[in-house]
A = this chain, B = another copy of it.
Amino acid sequence: MGSAICIPAINNARKVTLLGSPLDDHIVDAINNGLPHPNLNVQLPNDLTVLKNDQHTTDLLQSASVIIIGVSSAGIDWATQTIRAAQAQPELLSLVTKGLIRHATPSQSPLTYAHTLPEAIQIDASKLVGIGGPCIARELALGYPTRVVFGAHETTAAKQLKDLFQTDTYRIQTTDQLVELEACAALKNFLCIGVSSALGAHPLNNSFAKNPVAGFFNQAVIELRILSEWIAQAGKQTPLPTSALQTPTAFDLAGMGDLHVTVGGGRNSRLGNYLGQGESLSDVLENQMLNVTVEGVDTGRQIHTAVQHACASGELPAAMLPLTLAILDCIHTGGKFKFEFASLPG
C-alpha cells in the first residue's frame, strides 16, 4: 500500500520519493531495473523516485513536506524511529499502517497509532492524517476507481492531504473522527475473519451460500460500530448508552444486509452488470433480459416523480443522492447508465 498510494500523488504531478524499509531492497532493485513491483505485479510510473533505506534517508525526511508511513504493522517501530532520528518535521504525517496497541494499564485499553505516533515521532498530533476505506493496493496501483477517507483531529489537516491526492479515480472523503477511523481500519481485518468463516462453512455449488455471509457481514458492521466508538472514547470509562446503539433500519439487515446479498446475484445485479459494460437499459431489457422482471426498475419508475419533486423542494438532499438520481435517469430515459465515479462524495 505504501507503493500504491504514490500513484494518485504522481498523477497529480507531485514529486514523490518511495523509500524502502531494510526488508525492501529487492523491491527497490526490481522497480529501478524497470520490472513490475514484485508484490503488486504492477509497473510503477517512471517519474517515481525509488530509494533504498540507506540512501539519503535523513536529508530526504527532513526536506519532505509530507511523510506517509506505508510499512506493515510489524515495521512501525522502524518507521517511527527513522523519522524521529532524522528530526523530520513535515507539514503533514500520514500512515496507511493499521493496527492496535495494548495500553500498558491493567485494563489494557486498545490504542490506535493516532494515540501513539505523535509522541513516538515527536510531532504535533494535529499534523497526523489517518487513511481508511475500501482500498486494495494492487487495484489502486492499476488505477481502478477507489474511495477512501482521510481523518485528522481537525478536518483541515485531512483536507490539506486530500488536495494533494484526490484524482478522478481516487476519491477522498474527510472526517475529524481520526481515532474511530484508525480503530475501524484495524478492526475490520479482525472482524473479517469471522465473516469469512461463512465462506468456508457454507459451500454451495462451486462457490458459497450468500445468506450466511450477508448475515455475518451485517453483524460485523454493528459490532465494528460499537468497538470503534468504545476505543474512541477510551479513558472516559463511561458505558456506551444503549440508546445510541440503536441501529438505523437501513444500516441493518433490511438495508445493508439485504443489499450485500443482492449485489452479485439475481436479476437487478445482472442488469447493473450489463449497464456497467456500457449497454443501454432498453437494449438489455429488449434482448438479454427480455421478459425478465427486474424489480429495481419497477421501483425506480414508481419513485421517479416523487424523488424529483422532493429534491426540487429541498425535502430530499439531492447532492447526497448521486447514485439514486443516476439510476432514476437511466430507467426514465432507457439509455445508458451515466455515472461518473468522481461524482460520489469525496
Interface of A toward B, CB cutoff 8 Å: 72-74, 98-103, 106-110, 132-136, 139-140, 142, 144-149, 151, 171, 173, 175, 177, 180-181, 184-202, 204, 209-230, 237-240, 242, 245, 248-266, 268-278, 293-300, 302-303, 305-307, 309-310, 314-317, 320-324, 326-327, 337, 339, 341, 344-345
CB < 8 Å neighbour of A107 from B300, B306, B345:
B306
Whole-angstrom distance from the CB of A166 to the nearest CB of chain B?
A: 14
The complex places the Cα of A134 from the Cα of B254 at a distance, in Å, of 7
Nearest first, the 10 closest Cβ-Cβ pairs linking A and B are: A200-B276, A196-B272, A132-B254, A225-B250, A134-B214, A197-B276, A201-B276, A147-B215, A134-B261, A189-B296
CB < 8 Å neighbour of A237 from B238, B294, B315:
B315
A133 touches B253 (CB 8 A): yes
A199 touches B273 (CB 8 A): yes
Closest residue of chain B to A274, judged by CB?
A: B200
The complex places the Cα of A213 from the Cα of B177 at a distance, in Å, of 24
B240 touches A317 (CB 8 A): yes
Whole-angstrom distance from the CB of A95 to the nearest CB of chain B?
A: 14
Q: List 7 A-B contacts (CB under 8 A).
A: A99-B295, A144-B209, A145-B202, A147-B257, A198-B272, A215-B341, A239-B316
Whole-angstrom distance from the CB of A205 to the nearest CB of chain B?
A: 11
Q: Which residues of B contact A102 (CB under 8 A)?
A: 302-303, 305-306
B224 touches A250 (CB 8 A): yes
Number of copies: 2
The complex places the Cα of A187 from the Cα of B209 at a distance, in Å, of 23
B175 touches A249 (CB 8 A): yes
The complex places the Cα of A151 from the Cα of B252 at a distance, in Å, of 13
The complex places the Cα of A219 from the Cα of B142 at a distance, in Å, of 22
Q: Which residues of B contact A297 (CB under 8 A)?
A: 190, 193
B190 touches A296 (CB 8 A): yes
B273 touches A242 (CB 8 A): no
A202 touches B144 (CB 8 A): yes
- Given A134-B261, A228-B255, A229-B250, 5 extra CB contacts under 8 A: A99-B302, A147-B219, A180-B249, A194-B324, A197-B276
Given A250-B221, A344-B215, residue A320 in contact with residue B226 (CB < 8 A): yes
Q: Which residues of B contact A258 (CB under 8 A)?
A: 132-135, 184-185, 188
CB < 8 Å neighbour of A327 from B103, B193, B260, B272:
B193
B260 touches A134 (CB 8 A): yes
B134 touches A218 (CB 8 A): yes
Q: Which residues of B contact A344 (CB under 8 A)?
A: 215-216, 219
